[in-house]
């Protein structure tokens, strides 16, 4: 049906339908009513319909909303394949991890206005540098751990005593991390987890707007992301 609407003759429409059913792993369900499809299958079918005419530019509006994690990852793979094939794709999403993974360029939208644009790295750089995150094993070590982290911190520390989780912004990257690990070892502070983290796009959105992306979803899509290709 989509092939005919795009101006293909019957034979060409059927041939293209066969190609797309194979591409989107829907061959086994080709004779089933679409109302019996899972959410992920329906999204793949939607995308297949949009690709019937080999578009050079494709617009997708929150295509992974409501999908389970496995179906979302599968759809990400399909989107990457289209971009590698030369399709320019404009994708709106409120899932900032999705924007981080897929986008070559990102426009952050809040209440209908573009408030920031750039690559993922550029936007994260606007928020600030790296941070050391630590989870100590024993509650009684939280105070000593805070004192050690404070020596390398370039801003305010955050401490959650209930989860024993400490976060300290740092300007020395891996050097600071190595120093902290050595200090913890010297003072016999056991660590459940430690790492050097970069800001996430959630951090970017929170810093720019004062609220998380999901809170604005009822009014606007949180992020619009052009995914590379011909553009």
Tokens 């999901």 sit on residue: 214
Residues 193 and 136 in one domain: yes
Q: Establish if 124 belongs to a structural domain.
A: no
> Does one domain contain both 68 and 85?
yes
How high is the pLDDT of residue 215?
52
My answer on whether 33 and 17 are in the same domain is yes
**Domain extent at residue 138:** 129-198
150: Cβ contacts below 8 Å, ≥ 6 apart: 157, 168
Cα–Cα nearest to 176, from 159, 192, 154, 160: 154
Q: Is residue 210, in this structure, part of any structural domain at all? A: no
Q: Quick one: pLDDT at residue 72?
A: 86
In a domain, 211, yes or no: no
Exposure string of 143-176, with b = 16+ CB inside 10 Å and e = fewer, is ebbbebbeebbeeebebeeeebbbbbbbeeeeeb
Indicate if 11 and 39 belong to the same structural domain: yes
| Domain count for the chain | 3
Residue 105 domain flag: yes
123 lies in some domain? no
- Is 207 domain-assigned? no
- Are both 75 and 94 inside the same structural domain? yes
What pLDDT sits at residue 165? 94
Q: State whether 101 and 145 are in the same domain.
A: no
Residue 228 covered by a domain: yes
**pLDDT per position in the chain (231 positions), as tens?**
889 998 999 999 999 999 999 888 899 999 999 999 988 888 889 888 888 988 899 999 998 887 888 888 888 988 898 899 899 999 999 888 999 999 999 999 888 899 899 999 888 877 767 889 999 999 999 999 999 999 878 888 889 989 999 998 888 888 889 999 999 999 999 999 999 888 888 888 888 887 666 554 544 444 444 444 433
Same domain, 73 and 91: yes
Residues 170 and 144 in one domain: yes
d(CA 176, CA 137): 20
The CA distance from 182 to 187, in Å, is 9
Q: What CATH number is associated with residue 178?
A: 3.30.70.100
Assigned domain for 212 exists: no
Q: What's the pLDDT at 208?
A: 82
Quick one: DSSP state of residue 198? P
73 in helix, strand or coil? helix
| Claim to verify: residue 154 and residue 141 sit in the same structural domain | yes
pLDDT of residue 190: 94
Same domain, yes or no, for 24 and 70? no
């Amino acid at each position: 049906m989509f092939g005919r609407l795009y101006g293909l003759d019957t034979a060409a429409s059927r041939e293209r339908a066969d190609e797309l059913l194979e591409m989107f792993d829907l061959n086994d369900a080709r004779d089933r009513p679409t109302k019996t499809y899972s959410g992920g299958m329906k999204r793949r079918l939607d995308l297949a319909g949009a690709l019937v005419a080999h578009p050079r530019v494709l617009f997708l509006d929150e295509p992974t909303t409501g999908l389970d994690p496995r179906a979302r990852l599968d759809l990400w793979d399909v989107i990457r394949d289209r971009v590698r094939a030369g399709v320019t794709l404009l994708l709106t999403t409120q899932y900032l991890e999705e924007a981080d993974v897929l986008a070559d360029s990102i426009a952050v939208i809040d209440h209908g206005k573009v408030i920031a644009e750039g690559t993922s790295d550029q936007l994260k750089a606007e928020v600030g540098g790296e941070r050391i995150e630590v989870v100590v094993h024993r509650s009684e070590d939280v105070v000593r751990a805070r004192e050690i982290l404070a020596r390398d911190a370039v801003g305010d520390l955050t401490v959650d005593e209930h989860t024993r989780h400490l976060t300290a912004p740092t300007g020395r990257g891996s050097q600071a991390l190595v120093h902290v690990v050595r200090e913890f070892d010297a003072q016999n502070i056991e660590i459940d987890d430690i790492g050097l983290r970069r800001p996430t796009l959630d951090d970017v959105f929170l810093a720019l707007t004062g609220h998380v992306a999901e809170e604005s979803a009822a009014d606007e899509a949180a992020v619009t992301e052009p995914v590379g290709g011909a553009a």
